[in-house]
Every structure is written in structure tokens, then in C-alpha cells.
Structure 1
Amino acid sequence: MEVQLKIIGGLLVVLALLHAGFPRYFKWSDELQPLSPINRQMMYVHTLFVAFTVLLMGVLCLGFAAELVHTPLGRVVALGLGIFWLLRLLIQFFGYSATLWRGKYFETTVHIVFALLWTYITTVFFLVAMG
């Protein structure tokens, strides 16, 4: 399981770094213009903190995989992370409208890849939590 956690750690670090490109990719300078300054700034700030949280999860998995697997506190942390990623998996299907991806090759591919990624991460964390 330690190897799986290190793989997840690497994936999470990459995912966190990808957040830096969100404003440009999603054209936030244009898309968010009609919003009030507070709502526009909240998008940037919340994205920064999501990226930072994902980065910290990745660093935790890379640097402390053995502790996550072999200590009671590590297993409790893994349970919490498993719940976090399970909720993210559910949001993939129930938080986003299927009209955003259905019938669009690239968007459908991204949807499936991330659904599989969230499933993998969730499963590993729950397996670690169960000992």
C-alpha cells in the first residue's frame, strides 16, 4: 500500500500544480468579469486553497506513506482522506451537469479519467484505513 500512496502522492502534486492553469484555460478574465469583485476574487482564492490542500495531501502521501499505513493515526488520516475523495467522486456525477461532457469527446474522456482517478484514490485510502 505504501507504493500506491506514493503514486497517489505524485498524482496529487501534479493535480495541484495544474490548478495554476485554470484561470487561463477556463478564460476566467472574461468569464468572471460580470461578477462582483468579491465573487470574482473568491474564485481565485478558493482555487488557490483547493490546490494547496491537494498539494499537502500529495506531500503527505509521498513523505509519510509508511506512517499512514502502519500507525493508528495514519489510518484515521487515511479514513478522512478517503471520505474527502469519495465526496469528490460523488460530485463528479451529481455536482456537475452531464450536459457539460455528454456527447463531447474530449470532455467525456476527461470526465471518465477523473472519475477513475477519484475511484482509485478513494479505494486506496479506504483500504489503508481498514488496515
Structure 2
Amino acid sequence: MEIHLKIIGSLLIALGLLHVSFPRYFNWKQELSTLSIMNRQIMYVHSFFIAFGVLLMGLLCLSSSNELLNTPLGKRVSLGIGIFWAARLLVQFFGYSTKVWRGKSFETTVHILFSIFWTYLTTIFMLTYFL
């Protein structure tokens, strides 16, 4: 199980860093230009903190996998993280319109890959708590 937490740690760090490309990839300068400055800044700030939180989860998994597996506090932290990723998995199916990805090969592939990834994260963190 420790190897899974190390793999997850590396993947979460990569995902956190990937967020740096979001503004350019999603053309936020143009797409968000019609929003008020408050709403535009909320998008940037919230995206930063999501990325930062994901990066920190990754660092936690890499640096403290043994503690997550073998201490009562670590198991509770794992449960919380597992619930977080379970909620994210549900949002993958019920928070996004299928219009975002259906009929588009790249977007469908990303949807499937992230659905698998969120399932993997949820499973490993829940198993870490319950085993």
C-alpha cells in the first residue's frame, strides 16, 4: 500500500503543477474578460489554492506514507482525503455537463482517465483508513 501512496504523491504533485498551464490552455484572458474583476480574481485565486492543496497532498503522500498507513491520525487524514476524492469523483459525473466531453475524442479520453484516477485515489485512501 505504501507504494500506491508514493505513486499517488508523485501524480498529485504533477497535477498540482499542471494547473500552471490552465490559464493559457483554457484561454482565460479572453474567456474571463467579460467577468467582473472580483469574479475573474476568484477564478485565479481558487484555482491557485486548488493546485496548492493538491500539491501539498502529493507532498504529504511522498513524505509521510508510513504515517498515513500506520498511525491513528494518519488514518483519519487518509479518510478525509478519501472523502475529498470521492466527492471529486461524483462531480466528474454529476457536476459537468456531458456536452463538455461527449463526441470529442480528446475530452472524452481526459474524462475517462480522470474518472479512473479519481477512483484510484478514492480507493487507496479509503483502504488506507479501513485496513
**Which TM bucket (shorter chain)?**
over 0.9
Alpha-carbon shift at residue 100 of structure 1 (Å): 0.6
Aligned to 1:127: 127
CA distance in 1, matches of 2:122, 2:5: 11
Q: CA deviation at 1:125?
A: 0.1
Partner of 1:80, secondary structure, is helix
Distance (Å, rounded) in 1 between the aligned partners of 2:13 and 2:3: 15
Report the equivalent of 1:85. 85
CA distance in 2, matches of 1:60, 1:26: 29
Superposition CA RMSD, Å? 0.4
Deviations 1:11-69 (A, max 9, x none): 00000000000000000000000000000001000000000000000000000000000
Following superposition, the deviation at residue 86 of structure 1 comes to 0.2
Match of 2:41 in 1: 41
The residue type paired with residue 52 of structure 2 is: F
CA distance in 2, matches of 1:73, 1:91: 27
Structure 1 stretches lacking a partner, 5+ long: none
User: Which AA in structure 2 matches 1:13?
Assistant: I
- State the partner residue of 1:57: 57
Where do 5+ consecutive residues of structure 2 fail to align?
Answer: none
Q: How does 1:1-131 map to 2 (within 5 A)?
A: 1-131=1-131
Letter in 2 for 1:61: C
Q: TM-score, normalised by structure 2?
A: 0.99
Runs of 4+ in 1 over 3 A off after TM superposition: none
> Structure 2: how far apart are the matches of 1:76 and 1:124?
13
Letter of the 2:59 counterpart: V
CA distance in 2, matches of 1:121, 1:80: 12
Question: Following the alignment from structure 2 to structure 1, what is the Cα–Cα distance between the partners of residues 80 and 52?
Answer: 17
| Deviation per residue, 1:67-116 (Å, 9 max, x gap) | 00001110000000000000000000000000110011000000000000
Separation in 2, partners of 1:115, 1:19: 18
Distance 2:104 2:51 in 1: 26
Cα distance in structure 2, aligned partners of 1:26 and 1:18: 12
